[in-house]
């Protein structure tokens, strides 16, 4: 029989909350995000409906509707929504802009600052909206081209056929409405020879490749594929800017409305050739291109973003120390002139000898008080494997490293909370290494401005070797807390989720020792996963009037559990305990 220390309940969980209470707690944590999304969706709906009604009701497009019908309004309404969302798609990935806003918004409430950490989520939502309106736009134009072709081939003398036969040649005094110049033209020919059709095809292919390569499986297993195909956005943006130059969608000119108002002249179109009749042939003009006006400012902003990132990446990086940790983790300590960081921030790293174009994000594991900055890299993919191998094989000089950043994350706000719960899974512990180091330095210099009164740190690993990455840090923190009489400030729990029977027996035999056999720390390692309901219940009981910041760097399944507990254990009374969930996103 084995006596294994398992993560067992220590307190009975609270009574299950009512649906109304759960909804109230959700509102406390997400009201601003919900409001922001509602405004964004509302603007999409308004632009679609407003443009749809404009093209469906305006007299200027009466004759165009005679050929195209309802699909004209659908195509134009979806186009305006595409312009709007294409204007937004680049802003969430302007990381320097977001870091600047985070810094200048330090006086803002947590709710406002927290929205900056959902940048990639919003980027994905905007991308989905672009896909939706792209599908509507393409389907509508397929109907449009079919009706253009059918009306151009018609010989029944209908109004649509008369309008479609208007000449394309200025010498003949005509003003065309139908882009099909002759009955023999096919839909495919017009698609691939017109500016609107060709750019539309290019943009659609680029969008399909970007969206499909951005799936979780591709990003995790073939990051290089995702990286390269996602830069097809350049073709999408350029294509969007020139898409409307051809002016295929046309409306009646203002001058022509005086000589041929459709309400008065459309029913007597057979008499337009009669010089004695008061109605003349209508004149048409293409709509001026509008897309470039929507995307010009974001594109300029993004170009400045890339120029700044390129300039910073060219500054020399000096590697001062290389450490190979167990579980295939590489630690790099570096120096760079003018580099300044905050806790929990991250950088982008490029190694030209491996790939000239690939940049990968890594959380900084050093503290702002240290005279170097460091990252821990776990082998997970071709690029990281090649980087680790390059450092293992170098005996004289290290490979050249380029660094861009640092950039802000949600972890910067950890010291804004009275109580903080830090949850890391595997290598996801890296942002908290920076935070814990910074705490150690703050205690060293007796910093009395620290708002945080209590930190609960949870580290969940599959392998015992992973704990050695930051063993020295945790040992130093244990000693420092004892010497300063602040043993209760840091409450940390280590959880091992993978072990065999022999190891469990060995752990049982040595359970009574003063230090843990896995880590060598005084805090014993627990086997299994945390019982989060009990952890939250205990913290809510210990801090009944505190604001608790819950920070996670780990998988989505764990995020779902923690978010649910935050909703469950937050009180609707603002004077009582509140849990705010924060997740790292790169």
Domains contained in the chain, number: 3
Classify burial at 471, counting beta carbons within 10 Å of its beta carbon; exposed 0-12, middle 13-18, buried 19 or more.
Answer: middle
State the DSSP code for 135: H
**Cβ atoms of 555 and 584 closer than 8 Å:** no
Q: CA 542 from chain center: how many Å?
A: 36
| Residue-range definition of the domain harbouring residue 358 | 315-407
- Both 417 and 386 in one domain: the answer is no
Residues 6+ apart with CB under 8 A from 329: 376, 377, 378, 379, 427, 466, 469
- Both 379 and 326 in one domain: the answer is yes
> Mean pLDDT of all residues in the chain?
81
Q: Is residue 290 part of a domain?
A: yes
- Both 382 and 421 in one domain: the answer is no
Give the mean model confidence (pLDDT) for residues 210-225.
Answer: 84
Q: Is residue 304 part of a domain?
A: no
- Both 55 and 202 in one domain: the answer is yes
Q: How much is the pLDDT for 447?
A: 64
- Both 378 and 421 in one domain: the answer is no
Return the exposure string of 165-176: e unless at least 16 CB atoms fall within 10 Å of the residue's CB, then b.
Answer: bbeeeeeeeebb
Model confidence at 6: pLDDT above 50: no
CATH code at 342? 2.40.30.10
Give the mean model confidence (pLDDT) for residues 500-508.
Answer: 59
Model confidence at 297: pLDDT above 90: yes
Dist. CA 133–CA 75, nearest whole Å: 9
Task: Look up residue 320 and give its two tokens.
Answer: 């001062």
Which residue in 152, 212, 154, 196 sits closest to 178, CA to CA?
Answer: 152
Model confidence at 509: pLDDT above 60: no
- Both 392 and 464 in one domain: the answer is no
Which residue in 272, 255, 304 sits closest to 97, CA to CA?
Answer: 304
Residue 289's pLDDT band, with cuts at 50, 70 and 90, is confident
Model confidence at 504: pLDDT above 70: no
Q: Is residue 486 part of a domain?
A: yes
Q: Sheet of 317-325: strands edge to edge?
A: 317-325, 329-336, 373-378
Q: Is residue 266 part of a domain?
A: no
Dist. CA 143–CA 74, nearest whole Å: 10
Name 527's bridge partners.
6, 496
Q: How much is the pLDDT for 283?
A: 85
Q: Is residue 271 part of a domain?
A: no
- Both 238 and 361 in one domain: the answer is no
Q: Is residue 211 part of a domain?
A: yes
- Both 385 and 426 in one domain: the answer is no
Q: Is residue 72 part of a domain?
A: yes
- Both 185 and 238 in one domain: the answer is yes
Give the mean model confidence (pLDDT) for residues 59-73.
Answer: 90
Q: How much is the pLDDT for 514?
A: 56
State the DSSP code for 503: H
User: Considering only 261-275, 393-407, 437-451, 513-527, which range has the smallest mean pLDDT?
Assistant: 513-527
Per residue in 200-212, pLDDT (tens digit) is: 999 999 999 999 9
- Both 345 and 426 in one domain: the answer is no
- Both 417 and 401 in one domain: the answer is no
Residue 19's pLDDT band, with cuts at 50, 70 and 90, is low
Classify burial at 184, counting beta carbons within 10 Å of its beta carbon; exposed 0-12, middle 13-18, buried 19 or more.
Answer: exposed
User: For the whole prediction, is pTM greater than 0.85?
Assistant: no
Angle at 138 between CA 135 and CA 144, to 5 degrees: 140
Per residue in 369-398, pLDDT (tens digit) is: 888 899 888 877 778 888 888 888 766 678
**Cβ atoms of 479 and 520 closer than 8 Å:** no
Q: How much is the pLDDT for 577?
A: 85
SS3 487: coil
Model confidence at 452: pLDDT above 70: yes
User: Considering only 157-161, 368-372, 379-383, 422-426, which range has the smallest mean pLDDT?
Assistant: 379-383
DSSP string, 160-213: HHHHHTS-S-GGGT-----S--STT--HHHHHHHSHHHHHHHHHHHHHHHHHHH
- Both 106 and 175 in one domain: the answer is yes
């Amino acid at each position: 029989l084995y006596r294994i220390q398992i993560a067992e309940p220590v307190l009975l969980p609270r009574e299950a909350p009512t649906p109304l209470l759960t909804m109230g707690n959700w509102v406390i944590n997400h009201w601003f995000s919900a409001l922001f999304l509602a405004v964004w969706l509302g603007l999409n709906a308004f632009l679609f409906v407003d443009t749809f009604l404009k093209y469906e009701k305006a007299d200027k497009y009466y004759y165009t509707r005679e050929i195209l019908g309802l699909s004209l309004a659908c195509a134009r309404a979806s186009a305006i929504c595409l312009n709007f969302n294409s204007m937004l798609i680049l802003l969430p990935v302007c990381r320097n802009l977001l870091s600047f806003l985070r810094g200048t918004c330090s006086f803002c409430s947590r709710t406002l600052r927290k929205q900056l950490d959902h940048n990639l989520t919003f980027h994905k939502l905007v991308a989905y909206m672009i896909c939706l309106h792209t599908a509507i736009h393409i389907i509508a134009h397929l109907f449009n081209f079919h009706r253009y072709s059918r009306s151009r081939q018609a010989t029944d003398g209908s109004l649509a056929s008369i309008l479609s036969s208007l000449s394309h040649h200025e010498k003949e005094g005509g003003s065309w409405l139908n882009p099909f110049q002759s009955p023999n033209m096919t839909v495919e020919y017009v698609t691939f020879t017109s500016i609107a059709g060709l750019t539309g095809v290019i943009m659609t292919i680029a969008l399909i490749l970007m969206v499909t390569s951005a799936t979780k499986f591709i990003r995790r297993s073939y990051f290089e594929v995702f990286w390269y195909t996602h830069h097809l956005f350049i073709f999408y943006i350029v294509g969007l800017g020139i898409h409307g130059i051809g002016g295929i969608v046309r409306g009646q000119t203002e001058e022509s409305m005086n000589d041929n108002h459709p309400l008065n002249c459309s029913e007597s179109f057979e008499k337009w050739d009669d010089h004695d009749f008061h109605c003349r042939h209508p004149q048409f003009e293409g709509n001026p291109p509008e897309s470039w006006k929507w995307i010009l400012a974001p594109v300029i902003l993004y170009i400045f973003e890339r120029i700044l990132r390129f300039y910073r990446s060219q500054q020399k990086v000096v590697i001062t120390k290389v450490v190979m940790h167990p579980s295939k983790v590489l630690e790099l300590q570096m120096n760079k002139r003018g580099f300044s960081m905050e806790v929990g921030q991250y950088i982008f790293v490029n190694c030209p000898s491996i790939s000239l174009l690939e940049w990968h994000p890594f959380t900084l594991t050093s503290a702002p008080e240290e005279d170097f900055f460091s990252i821990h890299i776990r082998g997970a993919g071709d690029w990281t494997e090649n980087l680790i191998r390059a450092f293992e094989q170098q005996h004289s000089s290290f490979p050249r490293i380029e660094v861009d950043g640092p950039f802000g994350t949600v972890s910067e706000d950890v010291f804004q909370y009275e109580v903080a719960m830090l949850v890391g899974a595997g290598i996801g512990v890296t942002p908290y290494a920076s935070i814990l180091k910074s705490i150690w330095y703050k205690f060293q210099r007796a910093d009395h401005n620290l708002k945080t009164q209590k930190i609960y740190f949870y580290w969940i690993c599959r392998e015992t070797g992973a704990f050695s990455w930051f063993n020295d840090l945790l040992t130093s923190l244990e000693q420092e807390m004892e010497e300063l009489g602040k043993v209760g400030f840091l409450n940390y729990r280590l959880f091992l989720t993978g072990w065999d029977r022999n190891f469990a027996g060995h752990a049982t035999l040595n359970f009574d020792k003063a230090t843990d056999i896995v880590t060598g720390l005084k805090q014993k390692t627990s086997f299994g996963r945390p019982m989060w309901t009990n952890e939250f219940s205990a913290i809510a009981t210990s801090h009944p009037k505190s604001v608790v910041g819950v920070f996670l760097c780990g998988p989505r399944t764990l995020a779902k559990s923690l978010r649910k507990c935050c909703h469950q254990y937050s009180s609707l009374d603002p004077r009582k305990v509140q849990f705010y969930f924060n997740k790292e996103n790169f």
